[in-house]
């Protein structure tokens, strides 16, 4: 079984400030981890993913996340927020290749990021 918890349903930052969105996961198998962004009334866009290898992954738009197995975390960060970053962000987990949960994404509850001028 898999689950994802995103701490904080709303995060507000000032433009230029650090963005930190928290994600903790639970998985009975080695996880694949993802961050997606959703703008109003639109589908999801992949920001970044961790499957295997380097635990610090870089994504689009300056975002990055670090897989910490000991903490079962995959927090999303960006050094300097832009107004265009305002959106809803979802963390997701799936099982790795060969497992029964491979390909099935379980999403967190989402975090709405607000960026103030």
SS3 of 85, please?
helix
Cα–Cα nearest to 99, from 41, 48, 28: 28
Positions in 32-91 near other proteins (CB under 8 A): 32, 36, 41-46, 49, 51, 90
Query: 22 vs 49, which CB is nearer to other proteins?
Result: 49
Determine the Cα–Cα distance for residues 83 and 3; give it in Å rounded to an integer.
Answer: 30
Shortest distance, CB of residue 7 to other proteins, whole angstroms?
Answer: 14
CA atoms within 13 A on the CB side of 83: 2
Closest separation in Å from C-beta 106 to other proteins: 7
**Shorter beta-carbon distance to other proteins: residue 15 or 88:** 88
Which residues of the chain form contacts with other proteins (CB under 8 A)?
Answer: 32, 36, 41-46, 49, 51, 90, 97, 103-110
């Amino acid at each position: 079984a898999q689950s994802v918890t995103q701490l904080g349903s709303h995060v507000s930052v000032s433009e230029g400030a650090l963005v930190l969105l928290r994600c903790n996961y639970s998985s009975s198998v080695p996880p694949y981890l993802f961050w997606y962004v959703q703008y109003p009334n639109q589908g999801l866009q992949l920001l970044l993913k961790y499957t295997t290898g380097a635990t610090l992954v870089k994504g689009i738009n300056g975002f990055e996340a670090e897989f910490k197995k000991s903490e079962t975390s995959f927090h999303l960060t960006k050094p300097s927020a832009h107004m265009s970053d305002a959106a809803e962000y979802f963390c997701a987990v799936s099982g790795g290749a060969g497992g029964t949960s491979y390909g099935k994404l379980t999403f967190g509850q989402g975090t709405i990021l607000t960026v103030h001028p």
